[in-house]
Structure 1
Amino acid sequence: MFRDHARRLQDGYSRQCPGCEVVLFFAEDSQHPFVKRAMRDARKVRKLLREAEAASISEPQSQKTPSRRFAGRTRSAQRSD
């Protein structure tokens, strides 16, 4: 068993095993149970990543924290001579 990024693991992806150096091909219609599980898990992870990205994009600006650079500063009154 080895790990790879879920974004890479899509239909048609191939990778050489670091242990035995055999090239593995990942396909949606594979009959191997480990390949099926890896493809299913990668699909779920990609879906969660897309949902999290969409939620962060759709978050309104008002809920984001304001910049601390100008927090508490007010315009000073002009000096009189």
Structure 2
Amino acid sequence: MSWFRFCSIICAVWGVAFFFLARLGNRIFAYDYVENLRAEDWTRLLGLSLFAVAFVLNAAHTSPNDELKRNVARVY
């Protein structure tokens, strides 16, 4: 398994956890958490960002262009 595929799977799993389980994640990981929709919105935004990173890493994995793979590896 390549580095790109491995990292894209990890980012996708965390993206699912943060996007779909925002309230539960905030309750578990936040100290003295008070239910707040703004906090859940930020958690979902983090989940969407992780989905975007997973998409870029997966696209780099399937790309035949070596220059693209080097640039993505340099950024992430």
**Quick check: which one's helix share is greater?**
2
What range is the shorter-chain TM-score in?
0.3 to 0.5
**Quick check: which one's strand share is greater?**
1
Bigger relative contact order, structure 1 or 2 (CA pairs below 8 A, ≥6 apart): 2
Q: TM-score by structure 1 length?
A: 0.42
Q: TM-score by structure 2 length?
A: 0.44
